[in-house]
Structure formats: C-alpha cells, structure tokens
Amino acid sequence: MLLLTIGQLARLSHCKIPTIRYYEEIAILPKAERSEGNQRRYHELHLQRLKFILHCRALGFSLDEIRQLIDLQVCTDHDPHEAHQIAEKHLKDVLLKIQQLQSLADELQSIVNSCNSDSPHRCNILSVLNKS
C-alpha cells in the first residue's frame, strides 16, 4: 500500500498543508502515521475523508456539522435519518441567509441609486447611511 506525504495529500485534495494539520489537530481527520523521522504519512482513507470534509465545507457546513456527519458514518447505531435532518436544517439556514442577503442587496441598490440620480459632484451615500 502506498503512503502519501502531507505535500502529496495537499496536492491531491487541493487543501493547504496547514489546514490538513489543523484538521488532524481538531480530530476531524484521523491521526496520520509517522515516518521514522516523524513526518506524517497518509493513505487512501485519509484522502477520501479529506475530500468529504472539503465537499461539505464547500456546501457551507460548519466543521461541527461535518463532525456530526462523520460520526453518523462511523457509528451505525443512529437514527438512519439523522444525516437527513442535519442536511435539511442546513438547507433551511441557507435559504434564510439568501433571503436576508437579498433584502440587504435591495437596500444597497437603492442607496447606490440615490447617488446616481443626484448631482455628479455630491454623493449622498453617507447621509443616506446616516438615516437609521
């Protein structure tokens, strides 16, 4: 079986080296074996796990949520739909965030517009922002 150095793992996963070490430190990635000279050595399973983590991160899951999802993979004595619930709650959070950002964008747009429609020499964005 082939072993990877941390640099190779980083290249294969597109994850930075300090981040890999950080994930090991917070125990979201299993500890690596060590070479005689104390350098980390990884195998396939680490790569898989790391890709899983990065994919979840890209989906906006927190490391804590990811930890829960991993627990569900490892232990089978869970409600089979617990992962489902986590994903659904996260989806709800995301949809809510989109709504908030949208109304925020609307307000920003009108602020920006308030300047365009004005004289070219005086920008009243600051005074608009000052109105609470």
Partner DNA sequence: AATAGAACCTCTAGTTACTAGAGGATCAAG
Partner DNA sequence: CTTGATCCTCTAGTAACTAGAGGTTCTATT
Q: Tell the smallest beta-carbon distance from residue 1 to a second copy (Å).
A: 20
CA distances from 117 to 84, 125, 126, 132 (A): 49, 11, 15, 21
Q: Are 124 and 118 in contact (CB under 8 A)?
A: yes
Per the DSSP assignment, residues forming a β-bridge with 90 are none
CA 43 to chain centre: 24
Q: Does 21 bind DNA (CB under 7 A)?
A: yes
Does the protein bind DNA through residue 83 (CB under 7 A)? no
Indicate which single residue of 1, 38, 45, 99 sits in contact with DNA (rule: CB under 7 A): 38
Least separation in angstroms between residue 23's CB and a second copy is: 16
* Shorter beta-carbon distance to a second copy: residue 27 or 112: 112
Q: Which does 98 bind (CB under 5 to 8 A by kind): a second copy, DNA, none?
A: a second copy
As a whole number of angstroms, the distance between CA 69 and CA 108 comes to 37
What kind and span of H or E run contains 107? helix 82-116
Q: Which two tokens stand for residue 14?
A: 């597109």
| Residue 129 interacting entry, from DNA, a second copy, none, C-beta within 5 to 8 Å by type | a second copy
> Which of a second copy, DNA, none does 3 bind, CB closer than 5 to 8 A by kind?
none
Binding footprint of DNA on the chain (CB under 7 A): 5-8, 10, 16-19, 21-22, 32, 35-40, 57, 62-64
